[in-house]
Amino acid sequence: PLVSMTDMLNKAKEEKYAVGQFNINNLEFTQAILQAAEEENSPVILGVSEGAARYMGGFKLVVKMVECLMEEYGTTVPVAIHLDHGSSFEACAKAIHAGFTSVMIDASHDPFEQNVETTAKVVELAHFHGVSVEAELGTVGGQEDDVSGSIIYADAKECAELVERTGIDCLAPALGSVHGPYKGEPNLGFKEMEEIGKLTGMPLVLHGGTGIPVKDIQKAISLGTAKINVNTENQISSAKTVREVLAEKPDLYDPRKYLGPARDTIKETVIGKMREFGSSGKA
């Protein structure tokens, strides 16, 4: 069934595993991720960025597509449709009214007071509709970080204050993770993660899940991380499959013949992550 993230993440935090947020970019991504979740009997979060929603035809189309696939597949595992890095109250409101079951308001680039204000407004609307809310503090590296070029750690006291003043359901404190591939080994702030986890009591979210070694994943989970976001890894693995298929058969043009194999690759990648995160069998 379509659900918010709240119960999923509280259960994950309690039982020490993480639910994967896998970003969708098109029909094949959505099929692959839903199939993987059902096969693994795992809860799952479908991450939808504003750009991806625009690409696919809008928030409403995304909701209908997911609903239709779930009906077609007879999906039994909990599924959340989650706005990833929502850039404004308006974007979150649009997603909520289109039927999203969860939103992230990313006002992390704004001054703290403004972040609190915007986040609180989103929570008020979201909770009225039974929709869960994720907020962010600090700056995740990579793509998101086009302003300063540096990673800014979330401040523990601000995290506690944001949680208390807004009533969010989960918190993404930026602690050294990066969107897109890591240059070398990731260097995550586990000490800060532990402190923030304890101080807020919130299920924590780890952005930039692509390329994080299993030992770091396990450590993060042990410190209260209950949601891990993965996008790039599925993009890289499926693009590799498309390249291989087309290189092997230069005359091939039927999209089903290269997107089908790409879909299989995404499914395999997602299954691998679900097992790493410990969410398999937890639906």
Q: Is 25 among the residues that bind ligand G3H (CB under 6 A)?
A: no
Of 180, 186, 260, 261, the residue at the interface with ligand G3H (CB under 6 A) is 180
Q: Is 207 among the residues that bind Zn ion (CB under 5 A)?
A: yes
Closest CA to 111 of 172, 164, 152: 152
| Long-range contacts of residues 253-259, Cβ cutoff 8 Å, at least 24 apart | 259/28
46 close to 270: Cβ distance less than 8 angstroms: no
Of 35, 42, 108, 210, the residue at the interface with ligand G3H (CB under 6 A) is 210
166 close to 126: Cβ distance less than 8 angstroms: no
CB of 63 or CB of 178, closer to ligand G3H: 178
Dihedral, CA atoms, 247, 251, 253, 256, nearest 10 degrees?
-60
CB of 70 or CB of 154, closer to Zn ion: 154
Q: Is 13 among the residues that bind Zn ion (CB under 5 A)?
A: no
Please give the backbone phi and psi of residue 228, each rounded to the nearest 5 degrees, phi first: -130, 130
How far is residue 242's CA from residue 257's CA, in Å, rounded to a whole number? 9
How many beta carbons lie within 10 A of that of residue 121, not counting itself? Answer: 16
Q: Is 229 among the residues that bind ligand G3H (CB under 6 A)?
A: yes
The distance of closest approach from Cβ of residue 49 to ligand G3H in the complex, given in angstroms and rounded to an integer, is 7
Quick one: which segment of 124-132, 148-156, 208-216, 266-274 binds ligand G3H (CB under 6 A)? 208-216
* Helix or strand (DSSP H, E) at 280: none
Q: Is 106 among the residues that bind ligand G3H (CB under 6 A)?
A: no
CB of 207 or CB of 267, closer to Zn ion: 207
**84 part of the active site:** yes
How far is residue 243's CA from residue 93's CA, in Å, rounded to a whole number? 39
The distance of closest approach from Cβ of residue 74 to ligand G3H in the complex, given in angstroms and rounded to an integer, is 28
How far is residue 9's CA from residue 35's CA, in Å, rounded to a whole number? 21
The distance of closest approach from Cβ of residue 172 to Zn ion in the complex, given in angstroms and rounded to an integer, is 7
Within 233-252, the residues that bind ligand G3H by CB under 6 A are 233
The distance of closest approach from Cβ of residue 36 to ligand G3H in the complex, given in angstroms and rounded to an integer, is 16
CB of 15 or CB of 110, closer to Zn ion: 110
Selecting among 7, 84, 146, 254, the annotated active-site residue is: 84
Choose from Zn ion, ligand G3H, none: what does 203 bind? Cβ within 5-8 Å by kind. Answer: none
Contacts of 91 (CB under 8 A, 6+ apart): 50, 83
Of 13, 82, 179, 263, the residue at the interface with ligand G3H (CB under 6 A) is 179
How far is residue 154's CA from residue 108's CA, in Å, rounded to a whole number? 9
The distance of closest approach from Cβ of residue 276 to ligand G3H in the complex, given in angstroms and rounded to an integer, is 13
User: Quick one: 225 exposed, middle or buried, by C-beta within 10 A (0-12, 13-18, 19+)?
Assistant: buried
CB of 207 or CB of 273, closer to Zn ion: 207
Residue ranges in contact with ligand G3H by CB under 6 A: 23, 47, 84-85, 179-180, 207-210, 229-233
Residue ranges in contact with Zn ion by CB under 5 A: 207
Instruction: List residues with catalytic annotation.
Output: 84
